[in-house]
Structure 1
Amino acid sequence: MEAAEGAHVNDRELTYVKTIAEEGSVSAAARKLFIAQPSLSQSLQRIEESLGAKLFARTPSGLKLTQAGEKYVAMANRVLKLYGDLLAELSDMESLSEGNINFGITRLLAKFLLPQVLPEFHRRYPNIKISILEKNSKELDRALTACDISFAVMHRLVGEGSRHIDYDVFWKDPFVVTVSADSPIARKATNDPAYPYPLIDIRHLADEPLLTVPYGQRIRQVLDTVFMQTGIRPNILLESRDYTTVQTLAAKGIGYTIGPQSYTALSKIEPGEAQFLSLDNSLNAAWALCIATFANGSLSRADMEMLRYFEDAIAHVMEPDPLP
């Protein structure tokens, strides 16, 4: 008997053969499986025909496995065990009793958001394993495209997009100027009820020492675009990868810096030590806080639950102005 081309089996057929072997007869197996004996006999015949081998031999004491049958049942036991384990694992993942989450986040956001998110998430889901990639936004874009992470909490430039990545934008975060409380720059600002802080004309900053982050970081990209649009060549005095360091130094009077308004709530500057100033909205000095996912990817239930925790933390910690 030759095996039929394209022969295949499913878990039901594996269970049929396994039960017949255990019971020693088709009739006993049919009763145990709650199916009609003729139906089970026909199923066994189809299985043997598809395999091109007899699985059972008739003996005075009942059906006995042939050599092919013994191999089939041994394999069936392993396959059914693996399938059962898979169903149990999927059930655990669906109930969030276990699982894995791989996500990315920018370093500064990690510093402020992870302490708000991870302790509570771990208390509720202690068996979910978490892997975190801390990189800048450009590097996180590449990690998403390579499917190294499921999602990223990051910033992007206003209007920036990608056909490979979906950005779920929470809000537009305007940039503000930070100077020391007694800085002469602050005295040049004017009060405007349309802005959260006194409004400063960016031309007043042209010759002042600028403290900023290095070229390539997205904060710097926003600044470079603004300065290019206004024809200002900034007087860069100091660069640091950590914007909170830059902001703290600006509050000490070394110079001025420009960065996200949301970071003013996260800074370690002492009350009354710094003055924050708004820039005109026409400059479009801003970026967007977003959660990014690969456009053709999918999120597990564990991923989505972690995202919910991030959304709550962003709402309570960052306290942004919502998008119009």
Structure 2
Amino acid sequence: MNMKQALYFKTIAKYGTITAAAKQLYISQPSLSQTLRQIEDEAGTPLFDRSTSPFHLTYAGERYLRAVEAMLEIETQLKEEIESIRRDDGGRLRLGISITRAMQVLPDVIPIFTKAYPNVTIELTEAASASLEGLLQKGQIDLALAALEANEANIAYELIEKESIGILAGRDSQLAQLVPSGTPISLETVEKEMFVSLDSSHSSRIIQDRLFRRYNIRPKILLETSALEVARRVALKGGACMVLPDVYADDFVFKSGGAFYPLKDYENHRHFYACYRNDENTKKYIRDFVSITASVLAHSTHGKRISQK
């Protein structure tokens, strides 16, 4: 059964006669009769009781009509979906973002985006920033929101938020007990502190290793973890330090008795970017997702809290 046969069958069932159905379909009665014979031959059983006027469906015909209606409904939905994709207001957005940044921005971004694009499905990949650029280049995601250095020629980078790098210190660390929070420090100040370290999939770890090499220091590592939130909490409770972007030095840090110190001798080049492949086929809804994210972060307060401590 093809879609033309399905439409013809449904029309005959609706109007009850070949004559009325042919008139609605703008085809000849003989042509429609021939199509019906083909359908019934393929089914191997009568689908209409022709002894009545108008025709009535047999039981097999009732089951056949149910399948016909399902097929036609699927075809209609598919056409609408394809048309929506063609207009750029429907489709799929494969988004890559770190878990911590997802917690920070998605609760505010998603409701705004889905209201504007109800026909776009979001498929979320949660991974550390250092991994997302590779997923983007392999075509496994469409958009990455990640802390990166803008280096790849085939990727478009839109700056969402600048990040500064500092040292998070737990309340019981020697640094927090001796130096007021917010004071710019050099890395030598914390050479003898214990550190909590993120694993190599994180951009913060890349910066940390770069800093340790630059100052030729090898602090004791209390814990290495893949989860930024675990690292923060262990550092705060364990009286340790960690290299951390300022955007994660939030109210939780200070309510836990922690402190945050900007690094005075380091200029950070890894910032929070929206990244997508640099071609002409970037969907409008991807660009709009980026704009919404930038607007949400611009109006948030997390970036202002450090200076108030």
Amino acid at match of 1:141: E
Q: Does 1:105 align with 2:97?
A: yes
Amino acid at match of 1:180: G
Q: Does 1:251 align with 2:236?
A: yes
Give the 3 Å change call, closer, same or farther, for CA 114–93 of structure 1 in structure 2: farther
Q: Does 1:168 align with 2:158?
A: yes
More helix by share: 2
1:284 is paired with a residue of what secondary structure?
coil
**Deviation readout 1:60-87 (Å, 9 max, x if unpaired):** xxxxxxxxxxxxxxxxxxxxxx9xx869
Query: How many residue pairs align between the two structures?
Result: 234
1:283 is paired with a residue of what secondary structure?
coil
Give the 3 Å change call, closer, same or farther, for CA 183–298 of structure 1 in structure 2: same
Q: What is the CA–CA distance in structure 2 between the aligned matches of 1:89 and 1:241, rounded to whole Å?
A: 40
Residue equivalent to 1:154: 146
> Normalization by structure 2: what TM-score?
0.65
1:269 is paired with a residue of what secondary structure?
helix
Q: What is the CA–CA distance in structure 2 between the aligned matches of 1:279 and 1:203, rounded to whole Å?
A: 10
**Deviation readout 1:129-149 (Å, 9 max, x if unpaired):** 111122222332122112222
2:286 is paired with a residue of what secondary structure?
helix
Indicate if the aligned counterparts of 1:226 and 1:285 stay in contact, CA closer than 8 A.
Answer: no
Q: CA RMSD for the aligned pairs?
A: 3.2
Alignment match of 1:204 (pick from 176, 184, 189):
189
Amino acid at match of 2:105: L
Q: What is the deviation of 1:210? A: 0.5
In the TM superposition, structure 1's runs of 4+ consecutive aligned residues that sit over 6 Å from their partners are: 85-88
Indicate if the aligned counterparts of 2:171 and 2:236 stay in contact, CA closer than 8 A.
Answer: yes
Alignment match of 1:294 (pick from 262, 277, 281):
277
> Normalization by structure 1: what TM-score?
0.63
Alignment match of 1:277 (pick from 261, 271, 274):
261
The alignment-based identity, stated in percent, is 20
Alignment match of 1:184 (pick from 144, 169, 174):
174
Q: What is the deviation of 1:263? A: 0.8
Q: What is the CA–CA distance in structure 2 between the aligned matches of 1:166 and 1:211, rounded to whole Å?
A: 33
Give the 3 Å change call, closer, same or farther, for CA 301–93 of structure 1 in structure 2: farther
Q: Does 1:316 align with 2:288?
A: no
Give the 3 Å change call, closer, same or farther, for CA 178–94 of structure 1 in structure 2: same
Indicate if the aligned counterparts of 1:248 and 1:268 stay in contact, CA closer than 8 A.
Answer: no
Q: What is the deviation of 1:313? A: 2.1
Q: Does 1:217 align with 2:202?
A: yes
Q: What is the CA–CA distance in structure 2 between the aligned matches of 1:127 and 1:285, rounded to whole Å?
A: 39
**Deviation readout 1:108-135 (Å, 9 max, x if unpaired):** 2112211111133334433321111222
**Deviation readout 1:141-161 (Å, 9 max, x if unpaired):** 12211222221111114xx51
Q: What is the CA–CA distance in structure 2 between the aligned matches of 1:256 and 1:226, rounded to whole Å?
A: 14
Alignment match of 2:87 (pick from 84, 90, 94):
94
